[in-house]
């Protein structure tokens, strides 16, 4: 396993997001800001490319990441600036599951060496 700055930043990012969702579990989310979401997506693409995630070509981890990333960007664009409904709450257990899936995609995609 390799841990350079891309791996450290993305690992910290996933742990921070998971911890935030666990801490705020059940609280209604704020308004969606697509511009901020897009900037984080660009940062993720940059760090994944620096970490070697895209070097192995288009295999299942890269395709899965692309599909999930696309869904996230499309839903963020659709909800940009909208006031959150009561159903849009932080969900801690789901964040843990999403973090594990994210690490599996990164690992099998060659991000950690």
22-76 per-position pLDDT tens digit: 999 999 988 888 999 999 999 999 999 999 999 988 999 999 999 999 999 999 8
Packing angle, helices 34-50 and 5-23, rounded to 10: 140
7 burial (CB, 10 Å; 0-12 / 13-18 / 19+) is buried
Q: Whose CA is closest to 41, among 75, 18, 15, 8?
A: 75
Backbone angles phi, psi at 71, to 5 degrees: -60, -40
What's the CA gap between 61 and 109, in Å, rounded?
5
- Here the tokens at position 56 are 């192995």
- pLDDT tens across 85-104, in order? 767 899 999 999 999 999 99
Tell me the pTM. Answer: 0.89
């Amino acid at each position: 396993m390799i841990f350079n700055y891309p791996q450290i930043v993305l690992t910290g990012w996933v742990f921070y997001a998971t911890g935030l969702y666990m801490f705020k579990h059940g609280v209604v989310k704020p308004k969606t800001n697509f511009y901020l979401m897009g900037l984080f997506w660009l940062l993720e693409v940059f760090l994944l490319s620096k970490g070697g995630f895209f070097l192995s070509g288009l295999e299942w981890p890269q395709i899965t990441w692309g599909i999930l990333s696309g869904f996230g960007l499309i839903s963020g664009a659709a909800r940009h600036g909208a006031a959150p409904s009561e159903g849009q709450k932080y969900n801690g257990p789901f964040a843990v599951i999403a973090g594990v899936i994210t690490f599996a995609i990164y690992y099998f995609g060659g991000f950690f060496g």
